[in-house]
Amino acid sequence: MRAVDLERVRPYGDHLDDGIVQISFTLPVPHGQAGRKCALELAARLGLERAEVVHQQRLRESYTHFLLYGRFAGSIDYTAQQVDELDLEYLSEDEIEAYAAEHIGRPIVVVGACTGSDTHSVGIDAMLDLKGFHGNRGLEGYRAFEAHNLGSQVPNSTLVAKAIELDADAILVSQTVTQQDLHIHNLTELVEIVEAEGRRKRTILACGGSRVSNELAKELGFDAGFSRGTYPHHLATFLVRELAARIAEQSTLSERDAAVQAAG
C-alpha cells in the first residue's frame, strides 16, 4: 500500500488519493431536470469537480432530496492541526478506584445537571448514573465517588446551591441545546455564580456536550470540557487526578505556611 502523505491528506472513495466524496442535501425545488442542475451548480460552488447526481427523490411538492458524488481537488495538512485535548492517560475503572483510595482517601462528591432550558439528560445520565454508557458504569457505580444527578432544566443557581449544601468537590454540566449559543450563556452564567459565591478555587468545574470542546470550556472559565466520544472513566480519570493534584498543592502550601510561622 502506498504511503500516505500526512501533509496532503485527501478523501478517497475507490482508491487512495482519488478525492471522491459523497454529499446529500435537500433543496426546496420541484423534482426534475431543473432541480438536478441546481444541485450540480451547488456542488460546483462547494468546490467539487466532476459532480454527478446519483439519486434524487421527491419528498413532497417543491422539495427534492439529492445524493451526489464528486471529486475534491484540494488537500489538508494533517500535521498542522492543533487540537486542545486533555493530556491524560486514561485509567481503567479499577485503576481509578485504587488511585482515589491512595491519593484522596474519601468519596469525591460530584453534583451534575443539564442547566437552563435543556431537557436532554442523556449526557449527564451517561456520566453519573449507575447504568453508565456502552458498558461503562457511571460515577454512581464507583466507590470513589458520591454522585448526585439533579436531572434536566435545572437553574444554575439551584445547581450551585446544591453543590454548596453538599460541599461538592466538582460540578458537572451537560449542554445539548445549542441554538443561538444558549450553551455558552448557560455555562458562562454558572461560572459567574460559582465565583460570586467564592467557591471557584475549591470547586472543579467540568462541562460536556456535542458542541463543547476543552478549548471552549477553558475560555469560559471551566477546568475541562468533554465532547463526543467521552466515556465515564474518561471523566473519572480527570476528576481523581485533578482533585489529587489540588490536595497535594494545598498540603504543600500548608506545610510552607507552618514553616514560615515556626521560623517567625
Give residue 84's pLDDT.
Answer: 59
The domains spanning 1-81 and 93-236 adopt the same CATH topology: no
User: Whole-angstrom Cα distance, residue 117 to residue 176?
Assistant: 10
Computed over every residue of the chain, the mean pLDDT equals: 91
Per-residue confidence band for 177, with pLDDT thresholds at 50, 70 and 90: confident
Question: Rounded to 5, what percent of the chain is helix, strand, coil?
Answer: 40, 25, 35
Average the pLDDT over 231-245 and give the result. Answer: 95
From the options 1.10.630.10, 1.10.3720.10, 3.40.50.280, 1.10.287.40, give the CATH code of 93-236.
3.40.50.280
Query: Where do the structural domains in the chain lie, given as residue ranges?
Result: 1-81, 93-236
Catalytic residue numbers read 131
User: Topology of domain 1-81, per CATH?
Assistant: Defensin A-like (3.30.30)
* Structure confidence at residue 85 (pLDDT): 60
Query: Among residues 121, 190, 201, 117, which one has the least CA distance to residue 159?
Result: 190
- Write down the pTM of the prediction: 0.70
